[in-house]
Amino acid sequence: MNSLHKKRILLGVSGSIAAYKAALLVRLLVKAGAEVQVVMTESATAFITPLTLATLSKRPVLSRFVADDTGTWNNHVELGLWADALVIAPASARTLARCATALCDDLLSAVYLSAKCPVFLAPAMDLDMYRHPATVDNLNRLRSFGNHIIDATHGELASGLVGEGRLAEPETIVQTLERHFSRRPELVGKSILITAGPTQEPIDPVRYVSNHSTGKMGFAIAHAFARAGANVTLVAGPTYLATPDEAIRRINVRSAQEMFQSTADAFPTADVTILNAAVADYTPAYPADKKIKKNDAQFAIELTKTVDIAATLGAQKRPDQLMMGFALETDNERANALGKLHRKNLDWIVLNSLRDSGAGFGHDTNKITVISRQEIVHEFDLKRKDEVADDLLTIIAEQLMTKLPPKNE
Contact 148, 119 (CB under 8 A): yes
Catalytic residue among 211, 252, 336, 345: 211
* Inter-residue contact 256 to 306 (CB < 8 Å): yes
Please give the Cα distance from 346 to 362 (Å, whole number).
Answer: 25
- The CA R_g of the chain, rounded to the nearest whole Å, is 26
Check residue 143 and give its pLDDT.
95
How high is the pLDDT of residue 407?
A: 47
Strand-pair partners of 85: 9
7, 43, 62, 65, 272 from 58: Cα distances, Å? 15, 22, 12, 20, 43
Mean pLDDT in each 10-residue stretch from start to end of the chain (409 residues)? 88 96 97 96 95 96 79 82 96 96 92 94 95 96 95 89 92 92 90 97 94 94 94 97 93 97 98 96 93 84 95 96 92 91 96 79 89 94 93 94 57
Which residues are annotated as part of the binding site for CTP?
A: 281, 291, 326, 340, 344
Among candidate residues 9, 16, 74, the one with its CA nearest the CA of residue 36: 9
The confidence score (pLDDT) of residue 370 equals 96
Q: Phi, psi (5° rounding) for residue 348? A: -145, 150
Cβ proximity of 66 and 110 under 8 Å: no
Per-residue pLDDT at 386: 92
Q: How far apart are CA 38 and CA 59, in angstroms?
A: 8
Q: What is the reported pLDDT for 297?
A: 74
From 48, 49, 51, select the one nearest 124 (Cα to Cα). Answer: 48
Q: Is there a catalytic annotation at residue 211?
A: yes
For 278, how many CA atoms within 13 A lie in the half-sphere containing its CB? 21
DSSP type of residue 169: P
Cα-Cα-Cα-Cα dihedral sign, residues 24, 30, 34, 39: positive
How crowded is residue 200: how many other Cβ atoms within 10 Å of its Cβ? Answer: 20
Q: State how far the alpha carbon of 45 is from the alpha carbons of 12, 96, 104, 250, in Å.
A: 12, 18, 19, 40
Structural domains for the chain: 8-181 (3.40.50.1950), 184-290+298-401 (3.40.50.10300)
Give the pLDDT score at 402.
Answer: 79
